[in-house]
Structure 1
Amino acid sequence: MSELRRRERVGYGMGSVATGAFGTVPGLMLLPYLTDTLGIAAAAAAVIVFLPKAWDVVLNPIAGRISDRSTDPRGPRRPFLLRAGLLLAVTFALIFAAPAMGSRVAEAAWVLVFFLACATAYAFFQVPYVAMPAELTASYDERTRLMTWRVAILALTIMICGASAPAIRDAIGGRDGYRVMGVVVAVIIVIGVIGSYRGTRTAPTDAVVAAGGSFREQLRIVAAARDFRLLLTTFVLQALATGIMLAGVDYLARHVLGRSGASTILFVCFVGPALLLTPVWARIGERVGKKQGYIASSVVLAAGALLVVLAREVPAVVVFASVTLIGVGYAGCQMFPLAMLPDAAAVDAARSGSNRAGVYTGVWTAGETLGLALGPGLFALVLAAGSYQSSTGEAVVQPDSALTAIVVGFSVLPAVLTLASLLVLRRYSLTAADVAAAAAVAPTTPTPETP
């Protein structure tokens, strides 16, 4: 049961269409929507983009616990993909559909309520989805191949959504541009939801007894897992760095580069390399190990980010090249930790005889959500410190301090966070031999799937 068929790898990877769309577009578009269309002050906008994600930090481990105990004949995780995924699409469209109420407070409340609803649906989609690889295969290398497909599809989704969302907004303009953009992205989410639900219907799963004990006891056990804790801390710091850069793309393009279509170009530079280089990073990981591959890709990402600090002094093509270097590192920084997570969950299952994959991934996605949520919020605070001027759509000349804040927020801050994460990652010690030993003793009775 270690080898999966290609259609099952692709089917699983299709779930990244939904996660990529939700993970990218709010981080890229929500802050500009609040500050430059609804006219909400940057500090208040920081709170709005943060609160729903903070709610997910609490909710994700609970969603994992619930999915761990699912006994649905279609598979323990798959029903969550369909139900929560469709709700995710509907609530996503509503975030950007705020009517003109004549009150900034009321319009801000609209965004906050539907962003909360969307974040809730996302928790019950993402946590079961991330938990699945630990149960689909016991192979250390097969999980890397599975993540290769997932990250490649994720990168394609990020590129399509990240490039098209600002293009749709700019082509239509104003609030209507955001409304149409929200509907288009919601349709993309539905495609990913249905694709992942149907694509995994024939995939096998390992039957592992759900863990007993209280939820608090399980959280304590997961928190005590040293390698998981180190991997999670590394990933959260890098998610924070990614969230900051996503939030800064539109500001960097419009206010620093000042070029039409620069947002789209920057996004293609950021995620385009992942379409070509994810398999290369996978081969590097197979040769030198996942940890060393993760370190190498992190260093590349940090180097690219540091180069962007020159954005105000160099031609735009140099900035695009620097962001491309970020993208080269980003491909590996997405694939390696996602391939290492199911290793940690599987080793725990083998040692305990109990399935805590949902709790592991619930804590993992809570950490990722926290990082991605703090990113835009932190970037908004950097804008506020630089005296960034919000507006309701009219052109505003930003002070020099705001332009400096945009550049430093996009470059130096993410680079420092990424390099700091490596101080944690170097202590990670789980190896391929550990995973192989766990696979040898884990219960592997297959549970048939119902199409």
Structure 2
Amino acid sequence: MLERENAAFGVPPAAPLRARTKLLFGMGSLAEGAQTVAFGSYLLIFYNQVMGVPAGIVSAALMASLVIDAISNPILGHVSDNLRSRWGRRHPFMYAAALPTALCFWLMFNPPQGWSNDALFWYILAVATLGRIAINLYELPSAALTPELSEDYDERTSLMTWRYFFGYVGGLGIATLLFFVLLRPTPQYPVGQLNPEGYHQLGIIGAVVTFAAILICAVGTQARGRMVPQPPARERQSFGQHFREMLGTLNHRGFQALLAFGVLKFSAAGLYASMAVYLGTYVWQLSPRSMGLLAFDGVIAALIALFLAPRAARRFGKRAVAVVAAALGVSLGLMPLFLRQLGLFLPIEPEGPLVATLFAFATIFGTFSATSQIMTSAMIADVVEDSMVRTGRHAAGTFFAANAFMKTCTSGFGVLGAGLLLSLSGFPEKAIPGQIAPEVIDRLVWLYMPTIAILWAIAIVFLSFYRIDRARHEENVRRVRESAVVEDLSARAGEPTRLPPTVLPSS
């Protein structure tokens, strides 16, 4: 009876999700993971070291696309919150995103030949901007399905765990293809990481993967999506009214704490990802095969987090787990470089012990980083009901638009930061491993480590302001249900009134 009432009264169905729905929902993150890793980790080295475009130009173009993306995200999220269609409020956007996302992926790694650096700046800006908008046309509505698929505090953590796991798998697949298959050394390109043909092929494969993953998620969640009630019919609003409504929704202290944490955390993650190929190629002087082996730390970390994150959240709460995991992750992630600078780490030869040790540190870092991200994503889902209690509006799309902006920082601020560090250290274009002045390498590493540490430290401070725990979430769900029942009874009696939003202490 309660499940039927929930569907009628505008709150998520109470029935537990089937494992198949969780799996297909999670598989959709293959697209976002593949694009995030490809754009965040390999665009800079492709255009800078392979195409010969100065790092400052590449990072400036990607940063400019991030600004445009930041403006478009809340608009996309707000529109998806209010769309009425027979496919549900989210799925029309998901279907529409598949083809343009795939096309932009291909275009980014297959730029025109013979263009000047200035022309390539505009090319990178245009394709990166369209690519970001296209993936967010899918990512925002699909992520916003999380609180609509389940209202359960722990089940939402499970959903985000599967989503994060497949995001890692998507990124791992890109790295594995590059280093084991595509980036082959040739007489013309003895360093495989600098072979342009591998990146061109990556564009084709990435396009196919993103297209398929988006459709798998959309089709796999379509039936459940139809069960979610349509948003209420509303009078036409001006742009100013929509804008004020979005600002009112985002004026939520708990969400703002998550937003600040996410922007800083994902910027640090983006810097880590952008610099990983540089560090592996020029600092540790690893072969493409060893670089490929190191990429597997991500899937092992995601597998561990798949089991660790839900259990830790049930026992200690989401915020506590997110804070501790973030602090441990950044400390251990920087340890190999710190020890190297002190002369206490393994030498670059022989390569085997070095790779094994780097792999162990990267796996531990990845596990804690993944666990922290899973927690904060699930915490955003819990903000939805807390906001509904205050405003009376279901705004999952708007909130997850900001979550998508956080992820965009991975390939935006992260790449910008990497470009700045390379420029400040005096790192040359088209450099040959082993032939760079040691002081340049040391300068790069000493700039990189404190930048990462400071970003994470400030992020953790912001996260401490989040206040929604299990008890508060369950109380919010109860209030939303009660409000929905009264609204429905009033509507049946011909009374247009509704319960005013409940004012709670700032979260």
- Residue 242 (structure 2) pairs with residue 215 (structure 1): yes
Mapped to 1, the partners of 2:110 and 2:104 lie a distance apart of 10
- Residue 293 (structure 2) pairs with residue 250 (structure 1): no
Distance 1:51 1:262, change over 3 A: farther
Residue 505 (structure 2) aligns with: none
Shift of 1:211: 8.3
Shift of 1:408: 3.7
Query: RMSD between aligned alpha carbons?
Result: 2.2
Shift of 1:97: 0.6
Residue 180 (structure 1) aligns with: 201
Residue 375 (structure 2) aligns with: 336
Letter in 2 for 1:427: F
Residue 205 (structure 1) aligns with: 228
> Aligned to 2:55, which of 28, 42, 47?
42
Letter in 1 for 2:213: G
- Residue 326 (structure 2) pairs with residue 298 (structure 1): yes
What count of residue pairs does the alignment treat as equivalent? 444
Letter in 2 for 1:8: T
Residue 379 (structure 1) aligns with: 418
Mapped to 2, the partners of 1:77 and 1:165 lie a distance apart of 33
What does residue range 304-315 of structure 1 map to in structure 2 within 5 Å? 304-309=332-337, 310-311=339-340, 313=343, 314-315=345-346
- Residue 471 (structure 2) pairs with residue 439 (structure 1): no
Mapped to 2, the partners of 1:74 and 1:325 lie a distance apart of 42
> Aligned to 1:157, which of 161, 164, 170?
170
Distance 1:127 1:101, change over 3 A: same
Unaligned stretches of 5+ residues in structure 2: 1-12, 186-191, 347-353, 486-507
User: Contact (CA 8 Å) 1:140, 1:343: kept in 2 or not?
Assistant: yes
Mapped to 2, the partners of 1:304 and 1:215 lie a distance apart of 45
More moved, 234-243 vs 298-307:
298-307
Mapped to 1, the partners of 2:323 and 2:458 lie a distance apart of 11
- Residue 339 (structure 2) pairs with residue 318 (structure 1): no
> Aligned to 1:235, which of 262, 268, 285?
262
Letter in 2 for 1:423: V
User: Contact (CA 8 Å) 1:57, 1:367: kept in 2 or not?
Assistant: no
Distance 1:128 1:83, change over 3 A: same
Residue 253 (structure 2) aligns with: 226
User: Contact (CA 8 Å) 1:305, 1:415: kept in 2 or not?
Assistant: no
C-alpha distance after superposition, 1:177-204 (max 9, x if no partner):
2110111111111221111011101213
C-alpha distance after superposition, 1:281-334 (max 9, x if no partner):
210111111111111211221112230323464222433322222112112022
Mapped to 1, the partners of 2:340 and 2:130 lie a distance apart of 37
Residue 28 (structure 2) aligns with: 15
User: Contact (CA 8 Å) 2:178, 2:198: kept in 1 or not?
Assistant: no
Shift of 1:69: 1.8
> Aligned to 1:399, which of 437, 440, 458?
437
Question: Larger radius of gyration, structure 1 or 2?
Answer: 2
Mapped to 1, the partners of 2:82 and 2:306 lie a distance apart of 34
C-alpha distance after superposition, 1:195-245 (max 9, x if no partner):
101110121325554888722212321332011111111111110110000
Q: Percent identity?
A: 24
User: Contact (CA 8 Å) 1:211, 1:356: kept in 2 or not?
Assistant: no
C-alpha distance after superposition, 1:122-155 (max 9, x if no partner):
2211211221112111111111111121112122
TM-score normalized by structure 1?
A: 0.92
Distance 1:402 1:223, change over 3 A: farther
Shift of 1:405: 4.2
Shift of 1:368: 3.3
User: Contact (CA 8 Å) 1:155, 1:272: kept in 2 or not?
Assistant: no
Distance 1:10 1:179, change over 3 A: same
Letter in 1 for 2:200: R
Distance 1:300 1:271, change over 3 A: farther
Shift of 1:163: 2.7
Mapped to 2, the partners of 1:263 and 1:111 lie a distance apart of 26
Residue 308 (structure 2) aligns with: 280
Residue 264 (structure 1) aligns with: 292
Residue 449 (structure 1) aligns with: none
Mapped to 2, the partners of 1:303 and 1:26 lie a distance apart of 26
Unaligned stretches of 5+ residues in structure 1: 446-451
Partner of 2:404: helix, strand, or coil? helix
Distance 1:42 1:140, change over 3 A: same
Letter in 2 for 1:425: L
User: Contact (CA 8 Å) 1:306, 1:412: kept in 2 or not?
Assistant: no
Residue 460 (structure 2) aligns with: 422
> Aligned to 2:215, which of 176, 179, 194?
194
Letter in 1 for 2:386: V
Mapped to 2, the partners of 1:122 and 1:30 lie a distance apart of 17
Letter in 1 for 2:466: Y
Shift of 1:9: 0.9
Letter in 1 for 2:218: Y
Distance 1:430 1:338, change over 3 A: same
Residue 448 (structure 1) aligns with: none
